[in-house]
Amino acid sequence: MSDTASAQARSRSTVGRTTVGLVVVTAAIIGTLVCQSAPPSAHAVSDVLRGDQGDTTTGADSAATEADGAVPDGVTVFADEYPGVANLDPELLQALRDAATDAADDGIEFTVNSGWRSPQYQNQLLREAVSKYGSAAEAARWVSTPDTSAHVSGDAVDIGHVAARAWLSEHGAEYGLCQIYRNEPWHYELRPQAIDHGCPSLYADPTQDPRMQR
């Protein structure tokens, strides 16, 4: 091969590597921008509520314990050994257990992703949500403050398993168990009047709930 041909070959090789490099870098930039602009998914929010992201707070904050209401995977509505279940409002807990007993006849098991929470645990989740979603306004669509949260008062439960939530969507009103927020199909509260009149209309998210405005 002549010196001229060799030089041309080296030039084409260099251009080819440069082009490939630019394509890879461009793809990486586009992928980063897409990830940054994507809205939070229900699955991602569920991860935060379950504490699956670990302790992302700093300073005096620490990871929640079972005493704060954190529950491991697979905990059922009958697990009194966990404060997250045992500290729920007694009427809510009884309605859940009645429903779970009947659902078991259909092969459905109710598990608890989150129930009662201590104010400290709720505040930790709120801090994590602000960090994850970038603003207090967006975080408020998913996590309430400790002084307004129905979880802190023991009046709300997050039900695990899609099949259980589907069963409650169809039969929950018979027990006074109602989904409250359209963006949280796992969040159920007790509405005794639903037994006779059906569940009330859904709020789009907690920011539309008057209880969250105090």
CA angle 112, 116, 121 (to 5 degrees): 110
pLDDT value, residue 63: 85
Residue 166: pLDDT over 50: yes
The predicted-structure confidence for 5-15, as pLDDT tens digits, reads as follows: 444 444 444 44
Residue ranges covered by each domain of the chain = 1-38, 42-213
Residues of the chain with pLDDT > 90: what percent? 70
Q: Mean pLDDT score of the chain, rounded to an integer?
A: 81
Residue 191: pLDDT over 90: yes
pLDDT value, residue 20: 37
Distance CA 51, CA 68 (A): 12
pLDDT value, residue 62: 60
Distance CA 196, CA 119 (A): 34
Per the model's pLDDT, the better-predicted residue between 204 and 214 turns out to be: 204
Q: How confident is the model at residue 105 (pLDDT cuts 50, 70, 90)?
A: very high
The predicted-structure confidence for 145-159, as pLDDT tens digits, reads as follows: 999 999 999 999 999
Residue 87: pLDDT over 60: yes
CB atoms within 10 A of CB 34: 9
Question: What is the gyration radius of the CA atoms in the chain, in angstroms?
Answer: 25
Q: What CATH number does domain 42-213 carry, 3.30.479.30, 3.40.50.2000, 3.30.1380.10, 3.40.120.10?
A: 3.30.1380.10
Angle between helices 162-171 and 90-104 (to 10 degrees): 100
Distance CA 102, CA 116 (A): 23
Distance CA 76, CA 112 (A): 6
Q: Give the position of tokens 């859940």.
A: 96
Q: Give the position of tokens 């975080």.
A: 139
The answer to whether the CB of 177 falls within 8 A of the CB of 159 is: no
Per the model's pLDDT, the better-predicted residue between 213 and 75 turns out to be: 75
- Mean pLDDT lowest among 13-27, 110-124, 181-195: 13-27
